[in-house]
Amino acid sequence: MNLITKYANLVKFSHTIFAMPFALISFVYAVKYNSENISQSNPYWWATLLVQVILCMVFARNVAMGFNRWADRKIDAQNPRTATREIPAGKISPRAALWFVAINAILFIITASTINWLTAALSPVALGVIMAYSYCKRFTSMAHIVLGLSLSIAPVGAYIAVCGEFALEPCILALLVLTWCGSFDIIYALQDQEFDRQNGLHSIPAKFSTRTALNISIVLHVVSVAALVWYASYLPQNWLTWTGAALFAAIIITEHILVTPTRQRNIGIAFGTLNGLASTTLAIFFITSMLSA
């Protein structure tokens, strides 16, 4: 296993597919509808900015997951499900993981600082939120919501990168991401329900019964769908917008069909495959809708 593969596995780089599509949706929305006051002599100014946004996403993701793996290294070593992760398995040393986090944090701040003053000012705040999540399960069952908050920074940050200010629309999209992520993380945490209880760790499944945890997950997904419809109302009102919204809703409904209190063997499919499909599908339809309008 080469070095790049080791670090890609450390940070689960494939999971970038969760937040990246929402950042791209927000980016395209900002360029298409709210960049009219931006004076640019180069008609392709957005291309350079898009690269900067993507780099920020990658660096932030590396910080979040790298720090999480470092902070949880002793817990992961005790949990049979996570004992084979790179740090407890000895594939990457704790010191090397911290260096990886530090380098990516510096690159994130530098890249954000090249965009505008607001992204520069908020970059340390964003890092603080995404790193704080790693310790939440030690004292609160709301860790799932904090994870959702971490991912919800993506669409807001992408919008600010273009417009240099806050707005309602990316915040609605952030609410969608927060509740959607918090919901599927509750489902994912069912795998460690008993381990968390035995080791004094906090999560919704550890605090409540499996049925109650899944009901809370459903409630969060209901909020996600409401936010989805709200955000879609700002987009072109065509078949692409509403087909994308319908497919996203259908996919998250499928999660709750596949994972029930008595059937949990499909958690892996529900967590990784379906959520990746949901975010990617939504981005394809929403972005196509905006660009074709």
Helix and strand totals (H; E) in the chain: 14, 0
Query: How many domains does the structure of the chain reveal?
Result: 1
91, 6 contact by CB (below 8 A):
yes
Cα–Cα distance measured from residue 121 to residue 10, given in angstroms and rounded to the nearest whole number: 28
Rounded to 10 deg, the angle between the 168-189 and 275-292 helix axes is 160
* Rounded to 5°, angle at Cα 199 from 97 and 135: 40
Residue-by-residue DSSP string for 148-197: HHHHHHHHHHHHHHHHSS--HHHHHHHHHHHHHHHHHHHHHHGGGHHHHH
pLDDT at 249 > cutoff 80: yes
Give dist(CA 196, CA 217) in Å, integer.
18
Q: What is the mean pLDDT of residues 9-38?
A: 84
Count CB neighbours of 18 within 10 A.
Answer: 23
pLDDT tens digits for range 167-196? 999 999 999 999 999 999 999 999 999 999
Extract long-range pairs of 84-88: CB within 8 Å, 24+ residues apart: 85/10, 86/6, 86/9, 86/10, 87/10
Read off the CATH number of the domain in which 259 is found: 1.10.357.140
Q: Are 201 and 138 in contact (CB under 8 A)?
A: yes
pLDDT at 225 over 80: yes
Contact predicate 18/279, CB 8 Å: yes
DSSP 21: H
Task: Tell me: pLDDT of 204 over 60.
Answer: yes
Encode pLDDT of 44-98 as tens digits: 889 999 999 999 999 999 999 999 999 999 999 999 999 999 999 999 999 999 9
Domain limits at 75?
3-292
Q: What pTM did the predictor assign?
A: 0.94
Name the residue with tokens 């740090």: 87
